[in-house]
């Protein structure tokens, strides 16, 4: 149920014909988990908070460092040394006090991932390494929770929306690539806002644009390319054979 | 030189002047169909063939980029600014990274060489 202040606060999106009050109610009743509160997580969390997602869990095990401030826009100079999730929760709650922000200060592992993401409607990727991403990916496939993968470096970024059972998962690709190449702050901001858009579409029941598609962003020449991707029938995580073995 | 091109998971596997028939072996799934854009008919077999004027790794990669461009897929393997491999890719020749080869992208390819063009994923956040 939307309150009078909600009708005012979200007016600009309520008047979008495909969104409306029904869309806003769905957002209000939704739970999103953002794994990793770095450059990607700060941006996606900000816009999902502003949009009125009812419950956002933010997960990170790190503290704010000076070298984070070029891209992690929720953290400021006087917060260096504080836990990222605590700072982010404080800022996001000031932006929108009518929603629930749950900070989780932990490093995600195969042992705790299920308890962290269970019950969420969408998981957003904000991590900075392949290992954690594959742990999140695997858990999302098993729990059948959509997972919006994104990764960036320098002026490049990638994103795809993984719908378990329908689209390829991250492990389908046996993905490789280095990390720690450097990041210009606007790159995760651009990609994270696409993640937030995909999440909102999923939450209100619209078709995500990047399900079964890989978007490649190149900030050097400002080109976006969207390419079709298909499931790997022999995927060690999401192939029907593997899932069957796990559960029956 | 001739080359057999086989799209893998996140890579292109290229055999130079193969002496034996190239097969996909256990690599059955096609998960990035756009990698077949220059050779749409090759989706049936999973293996494409191409001809390259020149003998070096650089010439091979430039030809690949040209073929993809003609098929409206941008695969800018050689970065025009650096004249080196673009940051979206990595290249191995017979399992050895091109930067470890004495002549780098200028390496002359031999019959039977296997070149792997890896499409790199992004992991920073």
Which tens digits make up the pLDDT trace of A31-46? 999 999 999 999 999 9
Residue A28: pLDDT over 90: yes
Q: Identify whether B50 is part of a domain.
A: yes
CATH of the domain at B76: 3.10.20.30
ipTM for the complex? 0.90
Residue B29 has its nearest CB partner, among A157, A183, A234, at A234
CA distance to partner chain B, nearest, from residue A29 (Å):
28
pLDDT digits over B68-123, tens only? Answer: 999 999 999 999 999 999 999 999 999 999 999 999 999 999 999 999 999 999 99
pLDDT band at A17 (very low <50, low <70, confident <90, very high): very high
Residue B30: pLDDT over 90: no
CA distance to partner chain B, nearest, from residue A228 (Å):
7
Q: Residue A4: helix, strand or coil by DSSP? A: helix
Q: Do A181 and B28 touch (CB under 8 A)?
A: no
Q: In the predicted model, what is the mean pLDDT of chain A?
A: 96
Q: Is B87 on the interface with A (CB under 8 A)?
A: yes
Mutate to test the interface with B, among A41, A67, A153, A182 (most CBs of B within 10 A): A153
Residue B124: pLDDT over 50: yes
pLDDT band at A113 (very low <50, low <70, confident <90, very high): very high
pLDDT band at B31 (very low <50, low <70, confident <90, very high): confident
Q: Is B97 on the interface with A (CB under 8 A)?
A: no
Query: Nearest-CA neighbor of B106 among B118, B116, B91?
Result: B91
User: DSSP string covering A124-182, please?
Assistant: EE--SSHHHHHHHHHHHHHHT--EEEEEEEBTEEEEEEE-TTTS--GGGG-------S-
Q: Do A176 and B74 touch (CB under 8 A)?
A: no
% of chain A exceeding 90 in pLDDT: 94
Instruction: Calculate mean pLDDT across residues B51-79.
Output: 96
pLDDT band at A245 (very low <50, low <70, confident <90, very high): low
Q: Identify whether B124 is part of a domain.
A: no
Q: Is B121 on the interface with A (CB under 8 A)?
A: yes
Number of domains in chain B: 1
Residue A26, pLDDT score: 98
Per-residue tokens: A119: 């019950």
Distance, in Å, from the CA atom of A161 to the CA atom of A215, rounded to the nearest integer, reads 10
CA distance to partner chain B, nearest, from residue A21 (Å):
33
Q: Identify whether B13 is part of a domain.
A: yes
CA distance to partner chain A, nearest, from residue B63 (Å):
21
**Domain assignment of residue B110, given as a range:** 2-119
Residue A248, pLDDT score: 37
pLDDT band at A209 (very low <50, low <70, confident <90, very high): very high
Q: Which domains does chain A have, with CATH numbers?
A: 4-247 (3.40.50.720)
Q: Do B31 and A172 touch (CB under 8 A)?
A: yes
Residue B121 has its nearest CB partner, among A126, A158, A228, at A158
Q: Identify whether B125 is part of a domain.
A: no
Q: Do B74 and A223 touch (CB under 8 A)?
A: yes
If you ran DSSP here, which 8-state letter would residue A104 be given?
E
Q: Is B95 on the interface with A (CB under 8 A)?
A: no
Higher pLDDT, B25 or B32: B32
Residue B123, pLDDT score: 95
A-chain CB neighbours of B31 within 8 Å are: 168, 172-173, 229-232
pLDDT band at A110 (very low <50, low <70, confident <90, very high): very high
Residue A247: pLDDT over 60: no
Q: Do B123 and A178 touch (CB under 8 A)?
A: yes
Per-residue tokens: A238: 């999401």
Low-confidence winner among A92-106, A152-166, A229-243, B21-35 (lowest mean pLDDT): B21-35
Instruction: Count contacts between A and B (CB, < 8 Å).
Output: 98
Instruction: Calculate mean pLDDT across residues A191-203.
Output: 98
Q: Identify whether B74 is part of a domain.
A: yes
By CA distance, what is A174's nearest residue in B?
B9
Residue B125 has its nearest CB partner, among A151, A182, A234, at A151
CA distance to partner chain B, nearest, from residue A13 (Å):
28
The three-state DSSP-derived secondary structure of chain B is: CEEEEEECCCEEEEEECCCCCCCCCCCCCCCCHHHHCCCHHHHCCCCEEEECCCCEHHHHHHHHHHHHHHCCCCCCCECCCCCCECCCEEEEECCEEHHHCCCHHHCECCCCCEEEEEECCCCEC
Q: Identify whether B71 is part of a domain.
A: yes
Residue A154, pLDDT score: 95
CA distance to partner chain A, nearest, from residue B26 (Å):
10
Residue B27: pLDDT over 80: no
Distance, in Å, from the CA atom of A68 to the CA atom of A39, rounded to the nearest integer, reads 8
């Amino acid at each position: 149920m939307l309150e009078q202040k909600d009708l005012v606060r979200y007016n600009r999106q309520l008047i979008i014909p495909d969104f409306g009050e029904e869309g806003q109610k769905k957002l209000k009743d939704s739970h999103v988990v953002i794994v990793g509160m770095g450059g990607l997580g700060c941006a996606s969390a900000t816009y999902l908070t502003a949009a009125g997602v009812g419950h956002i869990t933010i997960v990170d095990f790190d503290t704010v460092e000076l070298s984070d401030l070029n891209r992690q826009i929720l953290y400021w100079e006087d917060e260096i040394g504080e836990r990222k999730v605590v700072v982010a929760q404080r800022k996001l709650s000031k932006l929108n006090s009518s929603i629930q922000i749950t900070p989780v200060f932990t490093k995600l592992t195969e042992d705790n991932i299920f308890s962290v993401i269970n019950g969420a409607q969408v998981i957003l990727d904000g991590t900075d390494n392949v290992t954690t991403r594959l742990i999140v990916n695997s858990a999302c496939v098993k729990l059948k929770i959509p997972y919006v993968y994104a990764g960036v470096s320098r002026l490049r970024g990638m994103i795809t929306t993984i719908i378990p059972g329908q689209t390829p998962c991250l492990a389908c690709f046996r993905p490789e690539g280095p990390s720690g190449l450097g990041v210009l702050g606007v790159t995760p901001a651009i990609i994270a806002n696409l993640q937030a858009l995909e999440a909102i579409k999923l939450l209100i029941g619209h078709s995500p644009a990047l399900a079964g598609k890989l978007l490649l962003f190149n900030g050097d020449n400002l080109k976006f390319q969207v390419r079709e991707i298909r499931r790997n029938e022999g995927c060690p995580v999401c192939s029907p054979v593997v899932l069957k073995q796990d559960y029956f | 030189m001739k080359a057999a091109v086989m799209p893998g998971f996140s890579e292109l596997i290229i055999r130079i002047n193969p002496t034996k028939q190239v097969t996909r072996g256990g690599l059955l799934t096609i998960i990035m169909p756009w990698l077949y854009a220059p050779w749409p008919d090759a989706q049936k077999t999973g293996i494409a063939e191409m001809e390259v004027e020149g003998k070096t790794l650089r010439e091979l990669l430039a030809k690949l980029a040209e073929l993809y461009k003609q098929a409206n897929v941008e695969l800018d393997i050689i970065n025009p600014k650096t004249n080196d491999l673009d940051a979206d890719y990595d290249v191995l020749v017979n399992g050895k990274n091109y930067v470890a080869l004495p002549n780098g992208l200028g390496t002359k390819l031999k019959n039977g060489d296997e070149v792997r063009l890896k499409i790199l994923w992004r992991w920073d956040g």
